[in-house]
Structure 1
Amino acid sequence: MDKLIPYLMGRALLLCSACMAIPFAYSIYLHHNFMTGVFGQSICITLLIAILLIKKSTNPPESLSVYGGAIFLCAIWVTIGFFGGLPYYFSHYLGPIDAFVESVSGFTTTGYTNILSLQDPALILWRSMTQWMGGGMILMFIATVLPAITGMFGISFAMPVALKTGVVTINRLRKNTRRLSILYALLTIIGVVFFSVAGLGTYDAINFAMVTISTGGCYFSDAYLYNNVWFASAAIVGLIASGGNVIIYWQAIKRRQYSMLKKTIHNTEFHIFVLIILVIGLICGLHLYHNNYYNLSDSLLYGFFSVALYAGTTGAPPFEVLTWTDFDKMLLIVVASIGGCIGSLAGGFKILRLMILFKSCANEMTRTIHPDIIMTMKIDGEIVPSKVINRILGFFFIVFITIAISILVISAAGLDMQQSMDIAIACITSTGPIMLFHTSHSEILALPVIVKLFCCFLMVLGKLDIFAFLILIFGSRQQLLHKHW
C-alpha cells in the first residue's frame, strides 16, 4: 500500500480533531461541562491516531497511484466517519452503529439524522460542521483526486485544461486545498451574511450557511422558517451557488480573472439547472394550490423553495413535505436524482451527463435515418470526446444496476418497494430527507445493523461516483491474481 495513504489519512484526522476544538471551545463558553468532556475525549483519541498515522508514513512518495487513490477515496469516508461519530457515542445520544451512520451521513452531506431531538448547542454545531467539512472534502476531491482516478465521467470535459490530466501529488493537494479552502470559506461567509440579513441570529446563521453551502441540509432549530420569504430567498441563492460549477469559481479566484464567472452565467448546464428549479417549482406550487394545501403565494413559496432544496440535493426536514401528495414527492425525488451541475457540491446524476445522454440518443436516431452521416457532439461550442460519451453511458448503466440491487437488498429488511426505493435514492443522491417520504423515523431506526451499514456504503458510493470503488475491487483482484501466478 502507498505510504502516502496513511499520511493523507493522518492529515485528514488532524484536521478533524482541529475542527472538534471549535464545539469543544463553544461548550466551555456555555459552561456545559459534560459536553466539554465528550469533545475532549474525542479530540484526544482522534489526535492520537492522526499522529500515529503520520509518524508511520515517514518519507511518503510525492504522488499517488490510481489504485492508491481509489483506496484513499474509499477509506477516508469510513475512517473520518468513525472518529467523527465519537461525540455522538460519548454523549450517549446514539449507540456505536447509529453514531457511525450519523457521522457518515454528515460527512457525505446526505442530511439524514438518527437523532429525533438534539438540544445541545455544541453537538448541533458539530453536526453542522461535519456536513461543512464533508462538502469541503468533496470539493477538494473534485479538483484533485477524482479527475486523476476516474475522470469523474464528464467533469473533465467541463474543467480547465490544467486539471484534466495529471497525477495526484502532495504539492498539488497542498496548493489546491489552500485555494479551495479560501473559496469555500468565502462562500460560507457570504451565506452567513445572507441569513443574518434574513433575520437569523449569529449562531443559526452560521449553522444554516454551513449546511446550505455544503448541501448537507440537516439542522436542528426552530429558526427553520419555511414560510419566511427572506430566509427562503437567502437559502435559494446559496443553493444555486453551491449547485453551480464550483470549479469555475475556483479558477476565477485562482487566476484573479473574475470575468470567468460569466462562464457560469452563459453556461447551458447552469441555465438548465435554474430552469429546472423555476419550472418544476412552478408546477409543484400550482399543484399544492390546486389541492388546497396553502394560498397561492405560500404554495409558490413552498414549491420553489422545496424544489431548490432538492435540486441541490440539500433536502430539508420534511415536516411539511410529508403531508403532500405522492405527485409532489415524486417531483422532488426526480429533481434530486438529476442533481446539480457537474463540478458542484450537489449530488445526483448531474445535468451535464444527462445533456450528453440526450444528445447521444438524438445523434443515434439521426444516424439510423442517415447511416452515412458523420456527426460530432458539441456543448457550448466545445466538442465532447467519444471517450467521455462512452464513460457516461457506462456510468449510467452502473448507477441503474446499483439502484436496482440496493432496492432489492433494502426490501429484504421488510420494507415495501416504495420505501426501499426512497432509501436507496436518498443515500445514492445524498438527499437524506427522501428516506422519510414514506417511512417513519422509528422504522428506519429499527432496521437491521447490516442494512444501516449498507446505507452507509451507498452514501459513500454516491460521493465516489461509484467507479472509484470498482477500481478498488478490480485492482485488488488483479493484484491477487498477479501474486498467485
Structure 2
Amino acid sequence: MNRNLVFFLLGRVALLNGLMLVIPLICAYIWQEAGGLLYFGPAIAATVGIGAVLSWLGRNHKRQLGVAEGAWYMACIWLLLGGIGMIPYILSGTLGGLDAFFESIAAWTTTGISCFAADHSTVPQSLLLWHSMMEWLGGLTFIVLLIAVIPQVNGRFGLTLTVRRNVSFSPLVSRMEQTARRIGIIYTGITFFSAALYWLAGLSLPQALIQALRTVSTSGGNSFFSFMAYNNPALELAGAVTMLLASGNFLLYWKGVTYQSIRNLFQDQEMRAFLALTGAAGLIVSVHLWYQGLYSLADSLRFGFFQVISFISTSGLVSAAFPLWPEFDQFILFILAFVGGCIGSLTGGIRIMRLIILLKMAVHEMRRILHPHMVVSLKLNGIPVEMKVISQVLSYFFLFMMVFFISMIILSLAGITPLQSMGLAIGCLSSVGATASLFGVTDFLSLPAWMKVYCSFLMILGRLEIFSFLIVVQMGLQSLHRQW
C-alpha cells in the first residue's frame, strides 16, 4: 500500500477544514463573542499544521488510488475530521473530551444527535454555526467519497446501473478531483436553492442559510431547529422538497445538468420506486393518523408526509410529536430509516436499489423453483445486473443486518429497553438519530462513556459502507500475521 497518497489526501482535507474554520472565527468577531479567538484560533493553527505535515509526508505520492489506499483513506478521514471538529468544543469549555468527539462525529456523519441541551442560550453562536458547517461539510465529504472513492474500494455497487456509460469511475486522482468538483457544485447549488425556499417561507436570510446547511446534508434532528416551534406549513414544504432532493441520485443530477434534461431522472427505476414508496408510506401514515383522530385530515397529510420523507431521507427533521403517535406509525417510520434513499444520495440505510435487486432475486428464485430449466436475467433500467453486483448486495445486506442485531445486544447492556437499543442502533448505523428519540432516547450527554465510543464507531461504520472497514481490518490482520 502507498501510504504517501493517503497522507496527501488527508492533508488536503485538513487544509480545507482549516480554511473553513476561519468563517466561524470571523462571525465570532462580528457577533462580539469574547472567546472566539481563544477556541477557533488554536483550532485553525492545529488543523493547518496537521494538514501541512500530512501533505509533506505525502509529497511523493502516486497518481492512482488502489483498493488499499481507498479503504484506509475512508477509515482515517472520519477520525481526522472528528478530531478537528472537537477542538473548538474543548477549548471553549462547552463539552469535555469524549463528549466533544461524540458531538463532532455525529455532526460530520450527519447523524443528527447531539449532547447539547435543548436550550442553547449558553452555547456561543459561533459554535452552533461551526456545528452546522460540520454537518454540511460532512454531507459533502460523504457524497464525494460515495461517488469518487467507494467505487474503487467496493466496486461500483450498482452506480453504473443508473448512469449507464455516461459517467466513468476512474482511480486517477486528477479524475477523482474533477468528479469531486462537479458533485460539489451540484451540492452547493441545491443548498442555495434550499436556502431560497426557507427564506421565501419566512426565515431570515442567515437562518435560512444555516437551516439549508442542515437539511441538504440530511443531518436534521430536533436539537438546533424545531419546525414545531414555527408551525408553518410553508417551512415544512421547503424542508420536504430539500430532503427529497438530497435523497436522489447525485449522478443522475450530474447527468441531467450535463445534458440539460431531467427526463432521465424520472425514467430511472430506482427513483420511481423511491417516490412510489414515499408516497405510499406517507398516505398510509396520514390516513391512520386521521383514522385515530389525532389530527384533522389536512394536518394528518401534512405531518404524515413530512415525517415519512424525514425518515426515508434519514434526515430526522421533526414537525410533530411522533413519539406520541400510535405504534403502527412509529414502526413504519422505523422501517423507512432502514431503507434510506437512492444509491448515489446523501442518505444512509440500505438504499432503494439494493432492495429492488433483493426483491427481484426473490421473484426469480421462485420462478426457478417452478421452472428449473428457465434462464432468467436480472435487469435494472434495462441493464443486466452482473453476478458480482448481486453478490455485493447480498453480502452488504447480511453484514448490515448482522451489525444491527449485534449492536442491539451491545447497547442493551446500558440498561435501556430493547426498543430503545433498536432505535439507537439503526439511528447511528443509518445516520438518522431521530429513531433514538422515536423510542425515548433523548439525553445523549448522560450516556455511559463506553456507549458514546461504540455509537461513534457505529456512525463511522455506517458512512464507511461496512466493506471499507472490513478491508482495513483484513489488512491489519494480514500485517500481524506476517510479523508473527
TM-score bucket (shorter structure):
over 0.9
Distance 1:387 1:174 in 2: 27
* Matched-pair identity in %: 33
Give the aligned partner of residue 468 of structure 2: 468
Distance 2:256 2:50 in 1: 37
Answer with 104-113 or 153-162: which moved more.
153-162
Query: Is 2:53 the partner of 1:52?
Result: yes
Assess if the C-alpha contact under 8 Å between 2:250 and 2:345 holds in 1. yes
**Following superposition of structure 1 onto structure 2, how do residues 5-44 of structure 1 map, counting pairs within 5 Å?**
5-44=6-45
Assess if the C-alpha contact under 8 Å between 1:153 and 1:395 holds in 2. no
**Following superposition of structure 1 onto structure 2, how do residues 45-444 of structure 1 map, counting pairs within 5 Å?**
45-116=46-117, 117-119=119-121, 120-151=124-155, 153-161=157-165, 163=167, 165-167=169-171, 169-218=172-221, 220-221=224-225, 227-253=231-257, 256-259=258-261, 261-317=262-318, 320-442=321-443, 444=444
Distance 1:9 1:308 in 2: 34
Give the aligned partner of residue 479 of structure 2: 479
Distance 1:271 1:225 in 2: 33
Matched AA of 2:458: L
Distance 1:225 1:191 in 2: 20
Distance 1:441 1:346 in 2: 22
- How far has the Cα of 1:10 moved from its partner? 1.2
Assess if the C-alpha contact under 8 Å between 1:143 and 1:163 holds in 2. no
Answer with 420-429 or 225-234: which moved more.
225-234
Answer with 40-49 or 135-144: which moved more.
40-49
Distance 1:18 1:440 in 2: 36
- How far has the Cα of 1:265 moved from its partner? 1.3
- How far has the Cα of 1:94 moved from its partner? 1.2
The structure-2 alpha-carbon separation of the partners of 1:165 and 1:191, relative to structure 1 and needing over 3 Å to count, comes to: closer
Q: Secondary structure at the match of 1:85?
A: helix
The structure-2 alpha-carbon separation of the partners of 1:222 and 1:478, relative to structure 1 and needing over 3 Å to count, comes to: closer
Answer with 314-323 or 218-227: which moved more.
218-227
Assess if the C-alpha contact under 8 Å between 1:204 and 1:223 holds in 2. no
Assess if the C-alpha contact under 8 Å between 1:147 and 1:163 holds in 2. no
Query: Is 2:462 the partner of 1:455?
Result: no
The structure-2 alpha-carbon separation of the partners of 1:159 and 1:89, relative to structure 1 and needing over 3 Å to count, comes to: farther
Assess if the C-alpha contact under 8 Å between 2:113 and 2:434 holds in 1. yes
Matched AA of 1:427: C
- The gaps in structure 1 that reach 5 residues or longer are none
User: What is the RMSD of the two structures over their aligned residues, measured on CA atoms?
Assistant: 1.8
Assess if the C-alpha contact under 8 Å between 1:318 and 1:436 holds in 2. no
- How far has the Cα of 1:207 moved from its partner? 1.2
Matched AA of 1:151: G
Matched AA of 2:341: G
Distance 2:163 2:449 in 1: 40
Matched AA of 1:67: A
1:90-113, CA deviations, whole angstroms, 9 ceiling, x for partnerless residues? 222211111111111111111111
- How far has the Cα of 1:410 moved from its partner? 0.7
The alignment's TM-score, normalised by the length of structure 2, stands at 0.95
The structure-2 alpha-carbon separation of the partners of 1:269 and 1:196, relative to structure 1 and needing over 3 Å to count, comes to: same
Assess if the C-alpha contact under 8 Å between 1:217 and 1:314 holds in 2. yes
Answer with 148-157 or 5-14: which moved more.
148-157
- The gaps in structure 2 that reach 5 residues or longer are none
Matched AA of 2:177: R
The structure-2 alpha-carbon separation of the partners of 1:237 and 1:221, relative to structure 1 and needing over 3 Å to count, comes to: closer
The structure-2 alpha-carbon separation of the partners of 1:381 and 1:226, relative to structure 1 and needing over 3 Å to count, comes to: farther
Distance 1:319 1:229 in 2: 12
Distance 2:188 2:441 in 1: 36
Distance 2:260 2:218 in 1: 24
Distance 2:260 2:204 in 1: 31
Assess if the C-alpha contact under 8 Å between 1:427 and 1:455 holds in 2. yes
Distance 1:105 1:268 in 2: 32
Matched AA of 1:457: F
Distance 1:432 1:388 in 2: 30
Segments ≥4 residues shifted beyond 4 Å: 162-165, 222-226
The structure-2 alpha-carbon separation of the partners of 1:226 and 1:309, relative to structure 1 and needing over 3 Å to count, comes to: farther
1:298-341, CA deviations, whole angstroms, 9 ceiling, x for partnerless residues? 12101011111111100125761222222222111111111001
Q: Secondary structure at the match of 1:118?
A: coil
Distance 2:440 2:200 in 1: 36
The alignment's TM-score, normalised by the length of structure 1, stands at 0.94
